[in-house]
Structure 1
């Protein structure tokens, strides 16, 4: 698991702590991507995966850099694998470990090499491009 989080991402992660109650229904609003997600404790779905991203220090060449954090906000009983993300023609001027995140087709990127993110786990990576890619969860497998 990689842990590169800027201050803004840490604040967002802290703000999610009240929602980590496995026995309650909550509405989580990610102001960065727009839209609300419903999460029901004990029920696994793609809504249990939350993606945050924000700008970080540009490369020396001036290319903007973004940090992405992908979290499994379920607390217990919902390891989630085969996480696929809508990502357009995602590419990066900064090398990304393909085991963490790789585009496999247009608008289909695979997270964590298809391996599971356990309850409460997250991963982070940085990419560099002249614009920010809109990223959203496409599909997952629950077990």
Structure 2
């Protein structure tokens, strides 16, 4: 499993138990104020995950009150452009956990589904995220 190098991280990338699927599932939990170093560490961990050349599913949870570095969109865009083919090859599905229905509606748009190019869902809980993975991509 990829390891983040900082001792105290507001971003956690952890393998989670999903007994109904043989597909590894990783939870990315974003909370609090994310420093530039923490953001960079997250991208390194994601690069390591892709370099393992193993299929996986991702669950993203961006919690209320999250603060990201000012230039995170540009950095993430460059990373994504560099790694998108590997991402599409190995990521078998992406689920975003949001805190309320308003966020769900905003992130569950056709534009987001098209942009990710992998099976994509927006849900309100970890339980729902696991259920979606088991139903939609668990047999992968």
Tell me the TM-score normalized by structure 2: 0.26
Select the structure with the greater relative contact order (CA < 8 A; seq sep ≥ 6).
1
Tell me the TM-score normalized by structure 1: 0.26
